[in-house]
C-alpha cells in the first residue's frame, strides 16, 4: 500500500499541526468522533503536548505525515490513578492497515510501566471496525448508553468498553 516506514512515537511539540490536521480530517467525516471541529489551535496543542507529562500522546507517521493519534489519559484523582482513558484516531486512507493495532500495542506497554491497571473507552455502536479492534485486544463491553448520539438522523448507542491489564 505504501513504501515508507510507519513510525509510532510519543508526540513532540512539532507534531501539533499534524495532529490537528489528522483529527480534523476524521471530524470532517462526521461519523466517528463527537466533535466536528477541533477545539485546539496549534499553540494549544503544543501546550497540551509539552505540559501533559502524566498522559500518553502518540502519533503514527508515514513519510512525515501524521496519519493517526492515540491519547491515553491517566485518572486525575487518587481513586482513579489506576485507570487510563483511551482514544484512537486513524485517517480514512490508513484504516484496517494495522495502524490502530500498532498504536494500541505501544499504549499497552506504556500502561505497564506507568501502573495503569484498567483501560476504558467509549465508541459509537456503529463503529464496528473499532469495536472489533478493541475486542481483539481483550476489551469487553461494560455498559451502553442507548440512543445517546444522533448522527445523520440516526440514533446510536455509546458503548463503554474496558480491559484489565
What CATH number corresponds to the domain at position 17?
A: 3.40.630.30
Q: What's the total number of domains in the chain?
A: 1
- Tell me the whole-structure pTM to 2 decimals: 0.93
Is 1 a domain residue?
Answer: no
- Residue 38 has a pLDDT of 84
- Residue 2 has a pLDDT of 56
The torsion angle over the Cα atoms of residues 106, 21, 147 and 126, rounded to 10 degrees, is: -60
How many Cβ atoms from other residues are within 10 Å of residue 154's Cβ?
A: 10
Is 115 a domain residue?
Answer: yes
Measured in whole angstroms, the distance separating CA 19 from the mean position of its chain's CA atoms is 11
CA distance linking residue 139 with residue 118, whole number of Å = 10
Residues 6+ apart with CB under 8 A from 85: 72, 73, 75, 119, 120, 121
- Residue 52 has a pLDDT of 85
- 10-residue stretch averages of pLDDT, the chain, 165 residues long: 81 97 94 86 93 94 96 94 97 94 97 96 96 98 97 95 98
CA distance linking residue 67 with residue 54, whole number of Å = 24
Is 142 a domain residue?
Answer: yes
Q: Which domain covers residue 158, as residue numbers?
A: 6-164
Q: What values do phi and psi take at 3, rounded to 5?
A: -100, -20
User: 138 is written with which cell numbers?
Assistant: 481483550
Is 44 a domain residue?
Answer: yes
- Size of the chain, expressed as the number of residues it contains: 165
- Residue 9 has a pLDDT of 97
- Residue 1 has a pLDDT of 52
CA angle 70, 71, 72 (to 5 degrees): 120
Closest CA to 134 of 154, 114, 120: 120
Amino acid at each position: 500500500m505504501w513504501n515508507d516506514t510507519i513510525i509510532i512515537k510519543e508526540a513532540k511539540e512539532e507534531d501539533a499541526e499534524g495532529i490537528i490536521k489528522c483529527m480534523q480530517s476524521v471530524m470532517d467525516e462526521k461519523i466517528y468522533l463527537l466533535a466536528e471541529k477541533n477545539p485546539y489551535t496549534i499553540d494549544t496543542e503544543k501546550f497540551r503536548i509539552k505540559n501533559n507529562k502524566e498522559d500518553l500522546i502518540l502519533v503514527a507517521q508515514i513519510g512525515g505525515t501524521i496519519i493517526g493519534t492515540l491519547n491515553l489519559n491517566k485518572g486525575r484523582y487518587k481513586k482513579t490513578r489506576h485507570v487510563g482513558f483511551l482514544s484512537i484516531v486513524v485517517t480514512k486512507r490508513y484504516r484496517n492497515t494495522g495502524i490502530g493495532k500498532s498504536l494500541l500495542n505501544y499504549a499497552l506497554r506504556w500502561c505497564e510501566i506507568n501502573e495503569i491497571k484498567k483501560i476504558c473507552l467509549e465508541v459509537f455502536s456503529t463503529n464496528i471496525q473499532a469495536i472489533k479492534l478493541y475486542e481483539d485486544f481483550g476489551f469487553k463491553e461494560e455498559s451502553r448508553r442507548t440512543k445517546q448520539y444522533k448522527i445523520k438522523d440516526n440514533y446510536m448507542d455509546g458503548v463503554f468498553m474496558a480491559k484489565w491489564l
